[in-house]
Amino acid sequence: MYGDYYNMSSINIYDVIRHNIKKYRKEKNITQAELAERCRVSHDYIRQIESDKVAKTFSVQTLYDISVVLDINPGMLFEIEWNTLYEFFYLCYNFLEVWNEKNYCMF
């Protein structure tokens, strides 16, 4: 979802923000329409912000307003979920460790 994990410059921050807005909105059981009303913007505007098919234009004030409504720190909208990658490497490491023990091989 976020592109090449090894190259931070390839990460599209708009995609990260879109993903996080949608994630936290759903966690709070808030619809797009409710979020829009509470942020004093149109429902269509919230839909566009969450969509990856629409232009990448939203203001810092809008992000702040969304974070207030979602009751989260604004910085949480910029967080990249590295857990999946970490878990993958953790599983690979454990697999290699077990394989190494059974095959008496150094790596």
Q: How far is CA 19 from CA 2, 26, 46, 69, in A?
A: 10, 11, 12, 16
What single DSSP character describes residue 77? G
For residue 46, give both structure tokens: 């919230």
pLDDT digits (tens, 9 = 90+) for 4-22: 444 455 678 888 899 999 9
Q: Which residue has the tokens 């059974």?
A: 102
Indicate the pTM of the whole model. 0.69
- For residue 31, the 8-state DSSP code is -
Task: Express each pLDDT in 40-90 by its tens digit.
Answer: 999 999 999 999 887 678 899 999 999 999 999 999 999 887 656 666 676
Give yes or no for a contact between 33 and 42, defined as CB atoms under 8 angstroms apart. no
C-beta separation of 77 from 63 below 8 A: yes
